[in-house]
Structures are given as C-alpha cells and as structure tokens.
A and B are shown apart, each in its own frame.
Chain A
C-alpha cells in the first residue's frame, strides 16, 4: 500500500512549483564567484584578438600599414578588409536586412568602427600591436543629426548603397534614408484631429542610450581542423540564430558549428546582434588553427556595440473638452546610425512601436517611422524591452501628460477616463494589435490608493505656494505612468528574424529515478531560467523543481529556439515547457493506468500522481511512473519518458502596470531625490514572486538611470562624449531608492499557464514615471515638456527657462 501521509498541501509545497518564491538556484555559483563566463574560458594555445578602431566618425581610409605591428614579437596576424574580402566576409548581413562592414572597407562611418584585427599570443601584445598599426585617414563631413542627414545636400554616408532606391523595408527617398514604415488610418486620423475640440502637439525625444551589460561582449572561437568542427563560446542571447547565420555566411555546414552561450553577465538586448569581433575571431581561428579569444573593454562596448532608442517622436493627440481622446498621430525620425542593425522581427522595421496607443481606447490613429543613417554606431536594440516598446510607452505617457496640461485636467483622471475597459478585451487597437487581457481600472485605482494620490497632490500644491512665498527652493513632482507592453514574439505567421520563425522550444527527459532534465532554446542572462522553468515543469509533471535540471545555450544539445530578449522566454519557451510537460503527463497517465490496472480514462491527475477516479487511495506517483517507464514492458507503449514541444504562440502577451514616482527637486542645483517609487505589475500568472520582485528592482533601476542621466552623447564631429562609466550613468546602491512593488494578476487567456512575462516591464514603465515626475514638478509654472535625460543641468535649464532663478 502506498504511503498517504503527506497532505495535498504538503505535496504541493514540496514541488516548489508555480507561485513559490523559490530561491534562485543560479545564485549559489554567482555569489561565490564561480560562474563561468566567456572570459573565464581558457584553452591551450589560445590567441587573443584586439581591434584598431577609428578615431573619426566619417573618414576615408587611405591606407593601413601593418608592418610595424607584424614585426612585434608575439603578433601572429593582422586582418583588414582586404584579407576578409576574398572570403566574402568583409561585410556581414545585419538582422535588419542591411549589411555592415566587418572591417573598414575604404571608409569609416562611426567613431570606434573596427578597422583592423590584431591576433597575438596575449592581450598585452595585442594591445601594443594595435598602437603600432598606422592608418591614414582623410576626414569627411560628419552628420550626427538625423534631420540634417535628410537634407538634400547632406553628405552621402553609405556609398555602397548608391542608386539603390529600394531597401529591405521598401522605398528609400534619400541617400541617407533607410525606410518609411506606416501603420493606421491617415485620412481618418487627420479628420478626427481637424474636427477635435482640443489638440495637443509635442515632439518627444527618447535619447540614445546603451544597455551596458556588466559583462561586455566577447567570444572564443575554436576551429578543430581534424574534425572540421567550429565551436564558438560567446555572449549570445540567441545561440541557435547565431549558428544558422554563421553557417549561411561562412559556408560551414550547420552541423559542423556548435555555439555555446555560457553564463552571461547581463544582455538587455546588447547581445542579440552579430558583431565584427565574432567574425574576426572565427576567421582568425580558421586561419591559425588555434582558439582565438576576443573580449571587448567597456569603452568598446559603449562606443561600438548596439545602442538603444534614439527616437524623435512628433505627436498630435486630440480629445473632447471633457477629456475623451479622439485620435493620435505620431511621426518618428529614427536615428539608426551607420548601418541598420536593429534587432527587430523582419516585418517590423520599427519593432512593435505601433503599441504607442498604450493603455487607451483611441478610436483612430496613424503612425509613420522614418529610419535614417547617421555617423553613429549601429544598433537600435530593445534595451530591456520588447522591440521599441519603451519608446512607444514613453511617447504615449508623455502625450497624455501634455494633453492633460492642455485640458487643464488631472493626469490621473485623464488616464482613467480613457483606459480600455475590462469588458473590451480582447481589444483591437487602432494600430493593429489584439490585446489579450487586462484590467487597467483596478490596477490604477489600487496604485493611486497605495500612494495616497489625493494627499500628495495637496502637498504638492502647498509646496508650490511655499515656493512662491520664498520659503523653499524645492518642488515636488508626481510622475504617473500606466503602461501596456507587447511581449513574447511571436506568432510565426508574422514574426521572424532572418526568416527564422519566432517559436521556441523545450525538450524534457525524465530519468528512471524520477528526476529530469529540460533543455530550452532560450538562454538566461540573469533572468533565472534555471529556477523558474523548473517551477513551471514541477507544476505540470509533479516532480519537485529541485529535481529538475534546466539547461540552455548549447546548440549541440538544446532544441532550436530563437533565444532570450523581448520578454519572450516565459511567453514562448515557458509555454513550450508547459506543453512538453503535458505530453509527458499524457504518457504518464497511460503508464499509471496500466500499473493500476484500470482504463486510461479512469485515472485523474492530482499534484504529483495519478489516482483512480473515486478511489484516491489507489494511485501511482510520478516517481513510480518514471521508474515503470524504464522498467516495465507496457503493451502498446514505447519505453522511456521524454517529450519535445515547439511552441508557436497564437498571440503576443500584453503585461501592464501602474507606476508612480514622487520626486523632490532643488530648483537651484537641479539635484533630485526620489521620495517614493511604487510599481504595480500585472504579468498574468506569477511563477515566482521573488524573481518578479528582483526583476522589477533591476529594471526600475535601469529606468532611473536612463531617465535621470544615462545617455550616449555625441559632439558635432561624432565623438562619443560618454564612453566611460564616469560619464555614462549607472546608478550605485547610493542613488538607488527604495521601491515598493505590488501586483494584480490578470492571466493571459491564450498562454498555457497564463503567464505574460515581466523582465522588461519595469524598464518600460519606470522611464515615463521618472520623466513625468520631473516635468510635473514644474507644471504649476507653465512647463510642458523637456527632453530626457534629466540630469542636474537639464533640470536646472527647465527652471532657468521658467524664470525661477530670478
């Protein structure tokens, strides 16, 4: 007779499945300094690569003299475009359908661009050799402003595209123009705007910044000339896609390429793309026959690898006098830098920016996006957000504030008045999305209540009066944000990258003793997949999460998947995990029925076992079933207990949240202090509340950085002004305020477990909350809008402009 002693609740608890604040299994090694990152990989005979980079933003490369470098003892090779050209590797395809120079081919187009690759026996020799390479440049006129880039007589940046009026995303109307992307109803929107009682207009700039992961990009490439197999360990957020791309551009058969993403120290979108360092290391390893390591330093990471944002968003929003929004129009000028290397699904050159109607029921809308080349680094990645969703959320949440000012309305009321109602879901937005589920009014009311919104407004008004009487130099800003994200790309019918559908996968093997390994096509960069995916599975198959190993990142062992970015792991691979788990359970049911000598339909699932219907004392646990799968000869069933699932999501998921920031601002110095930050997230079913809280803390801190100072700034001649962490703002514990996290739970109706993804919400939602707080502080003095980042001098400039220093 089976032991029945643990209660059902005890059995559930033991699984540490959905909803458990299970401790992160990864942290044991990370907190002990025992992670294994790319730069920890050491191989016998390994060589080191380093780049000669352009000091100029736009110049012709007249000559490259390698002689002195090659004469330095320890230098093995120096590669230039000329060396790569015979292999066809001096240019490489970008994820956005453009191409990018691997090494400068006749000219350079941004400061920091790769010009030559040195291979030497150690890092020091490589760095010395870089200094010995003489490159002769001839300056060309520099354009860093996307509006100037589109002027008729602007310098031609991409000479390789001369005469090409069709690009990967349609017509190019100017030599520095990449594409125009249009969505929505132009005529209807214009009519609504012209007939509107109130129209607010504003240009909202979301400045260029950079994901700046703690670990920079790098790889170790190792070509084994004996078996013809190329292995590359690298900082890859999408290892399988890298394998396919590497095969397509190198001609090496895909089965002879093995891509391994070891531990990754943060990605945030920066590690999605393919960089010249990877190509050069692979070529160098093929040429030399030994492993070649390349790891960039911080300045190289900030200057040359994928940036984020840089969107100029010109908006018009209309409403009735009492605040019902009637239309929204947006035109974006998108600065893509020298090559179009955005990481977006192919059909979406501006990502999912058409989520810019936000949380609001806007009857008609229209959007155009112009992509433009400038002399800045390529990129345009989703920095902890789904493709361009952060830009969209910032845009609409600023436009709502601007409209509230124009209407003389409270911005919280204006939001509530226009939210999509609970009964409108699934909701079809004017710009083409089908929002899966939401309950915005409930979340909003909860947030306003939690911060004591009414009394905050009263305090703010009293402070303004005190300021006017000369009793204080500090103002209070209340920053509101209600954001809706679109994540989990995505349905294969409209989402692909380089033709690869954006499904994801999970493969599970149950071992005879009742433990398991699951492998996925995604790759954690700190999100805690090894913890949470085991929890999803624990609830599905009734084996404790502690007995399930999660493995990702090795293309020789993991099933094919598109990787981790855009909050897609839980919506897509998490769904695949649940579905594969259900296949396991289906087979387990048959085994259980056989063992219990009843019909398949006469057993039912209960936490960690199948019981005979109506006789719960007769059961077989998953542990027993696992053993039987490998032990018993069951008629009609194959031995073993394994399953694979490839999940093509029927829709995206739409997490949302309500964030409120209360800030004190010193009018004379621009110094700010966060007094309170409240973050309510609704990410559907909550897998691990502790991990959610950690993700929110990290993401809000990034949002704080971006809104309050972090930028990739260039001067007029294209020099990067913020190339080190002295100037590129990363908050320390000191600048990071206390956060209050909260939640509502509105499951996704189409996801197997109802989860929506949360990793990126806090970055998306917090930037508008911080920025709105700054701007709100000055609303009483007639301020409408100022661009981020809100560092001290820019806040001071707002006050100066309002005459508050007189």
Chain B
C-alpha cells in the first residue's frame, strides 16, 4: 500500500491547473478528495507522475440554488451537500444520496466532481445526475463546454471528458414531487449491490412524469427511460411498478462479483427499484 513516486502541484486557479495538465499530458491527474484516486495509487493500480490538487481553487467551490437552476462546484464535498439546507429544500434527493455514500470520514473528503468524473460504475452520484438530467461543465485548453450526464459515461472509467479537461461544476433544475434514492449494500462503506434513483411527479391520482436511474448494474450508470415511462399515467400501483421493474431489468447488464451472481443482482435491482418507487410515490 505504498504509492509510486509523484510530483505534487497545488494551483490556485482553474487556468493554472489546466496549464499543468496540458504540460504533463496523461502523466498528470487531477486530485480532488482523493478517496478514489489515492487508494488506486497505493495499490499501484494507478501510476500518476503529477498530481494536480484542486483543493486550493476557490472557483471550484460553492453551491448556488437559483429559482430554475442549481449549480454545485466540483470541489463541493458530500458533507457540504448534506449540510446545505437550501439545497436540501430545492432538491432533497441530493442529501439522501450523499448520506448513503460510505461514511462521514469519506464524505468529508469526497467531492461531487470527483464522484461524477471518476467514471466508476459503483459511484452513486452519476446515476443520480442522470436521473436529474444534470449537465456537467467542463473546461479545457479549448475553453468551456457542457455535456449532459446522460451522455457522459462511455464505459467503466471512460467518460466524455478528455484528459486535459477539468470538470468544474454540475447543474440541474430543482425537483418537485416525490423522490427516493434506495441502495442495498453489504455494510457501511460499501458500494451498491444495486441502487435506484427515482424522481416523479403526480397529477391527481396518477403519475405525471418519472425519471429512473440505476447504480452499479452495468459498466456505466443506467438511465432507464422506459422504466420511468412505464409509470407515467398510472396510479403507480403494483402492476405499474412491475412494468417499470421489467423495463429497468431490460436496461441493466450486471456482472457477477463478491456481491453476488447476475440472477441475484437482477432480482435485487427489482426489489430496490420497487421500494424506491413506492417511497417516491408516497412523497409525491
């Protein structure tokens, strides 16, 4: 558990950080909370010649809750998200999800930027961002651009971000209606066996809109469009939930691992989604 040699950089603005990344090419990596990257370095699964620590860059911090848009800086920690009352009022599913990530020690360090940029299918924030239809702001040598969370993930650890870009913020619209993030894990500090993010709205007795995304059930987060659609217009009864679960199952492709074989994961994904929909509906 001893990392290899690396140089440490601590820029104070985004432009200098981008400069260091440009100079060292794929030798350099951004360091946010370090709670995904440093373990990989200690296991010598990641060899990083130049670590570019983003901790001293004020412009990457801050949570802005506007009437139509919420913007969270990349270096905002999971603990910051949990503690922000305005954010919780405007989009309570953020704190609910953040509370299911690891433990307080990890949440004090781990950032939203690192969590979504990492590209690990086990991370919880990516599916949530897809559920919210969030946008990721990227800045690179060519300037800034925006990529939809639903278009960001290509395969495990491979995303639309290029090596010389930084993810600077995530943004999304405030949510109304019901929500739930439901996660099954083996213990505190574990990644999901299966997790479901559900946001829905209600019009009278039926569901008006629904968005569903799943964590750790494929090599990317899975936005299950058809599963959400299966709820719309229904009273979200057992039959509708069953249809949503069936649609979700068609979209995931879990692999067997220490958390269990594929058949189990399909089953648990269904159970977890069922609980999440029921809880979201009860809050709608």
Contacts and interface: CB of A to CB of B under 8 A. Distances in A.
B258 A299 contact: no
Interface stretch (A59-67, A231-239, A617-625, A728-736): A728-736
B5 A797 contact: no
B6 to A, nearest CB: 11
B261 A793 contact: yes
Given A721-B258, A793-B260, A793-B264, A298 B186 contact: no
A734 B185 CA distance: 12
B205 interface: no
B2 A123 contact: yes
Nearest to A668: B271
B103 A669 contact: no
A792 interface: yes
B259 interface: yes
Contacts of A670: 264, 268
A713 B256 CA distance: 14
Interface string B161-199: 000000000000000000000001011111101000000
A299 B1 contact: yes
A123 B190 CA distance: 29
A465 interface: no
A159 interface: no
B264 A124 contact: no
A63 to B, nearest CB: 23
Contact of B267 (A127, A131, A668, A721): A668
Nearest to B47: A131
Nearest to A473: B271
B186 A791 contact: yes
B4 interface: yes
B267 A729 contact: no
A792 B187 contact: no
Interface in A533-575: none
Nearest to B193: A792
A187 to B, nearest CB: 45
A727 interface: yes
B187 A131 contact: no
Interface in A758-798: 791-793, 796-797
Contact of A722 (B184, B258, B267, B271): B258
Contacts of A126: 2
Contacts of A731: 187
B145 interface: no
B186 A796 contact: no
Interface in A685-722: 709, 713, 721-722
Given A792-B268, A797-B264, A805-B267, A127 B2 contact: yes
B30 interface: no
Interface string A433-454: 0000000000000000000000
Interface string B247-284: 00000000000111101100110011000000000000
A721 B260 CA distance: 12
Contact of B187 (A299, A729, A805): A729
Interface string A233-249: 00000000000000000
B1 A792 contact: no
B24 interface: no
B264 A796 contact: yes
B84 interface: no
A734 B184 contact: no
A734 B186 CA distance: 11
B180 to A, nearest CB: 15
Contacts of A792: 184, 186, 193, 259-260, 264, 268
Contact of A669 (B2, B188, B272): B272
A299 B267 CA distance: 32
Interface in A34-61: 50
A514 B1 CA distance: 50
Interface in A727-767: 727, 729, 731-732, 734-735
Contacts of B1: 297-299
A732 B184 contact: no
A671 B184 contact: yes
B57 to A, nearest CB: 28
A63 B40 CA distance: 29
B268 A735 contact: no
Interface in A115-167: 123-124, 126-128, 131
Interface in B113-161: none
Contacts of A669: 184, 268, 271-272
Nearest to B258: A727
A206 to B, nearest CB: 19
Contacts of B258: 713, 721-722, 727
A709 B186 contact: yes
A732 B191 CA distance: 15
A726 interface: yes
Contacts of B190: 726
B249 to A, nearest CB: 14
Contacts of B184: 669, 671, 792
Interface string B62-85: 000000000000000000000000
B159 to A, nearest CB: 23
Contacts of B191: 726
A19 to B, nearest CB: 38
A793 B187 contact: no
A800 B263 CA distance: 10
Contacts of A729: 186-187
A735 B187 contact: yes
Contacts of A671: 184
15 contacts: A124-B5, A127-B44, A666-B271, A669-B184, A669-B271, A709-B186, A721-B258, A726-B189, A726-B190, A732-B103, A732-B187, A792-B264, A796-B264, A796-B268, A800-B263
Interface of A: 50, 123-124, 126-128, 131, 297-299, 666, 668-671, 709, 713, 721-722, 726-727, 729, 731-732, 734-735, 791-793, 796-797, 800, 805
The 8 nearest A-B residue pairs measured at CB: A793-B260, A127-B2, A668-B271, A297-B1, A734-B188, A793-B264, A732-B188, A727-B258
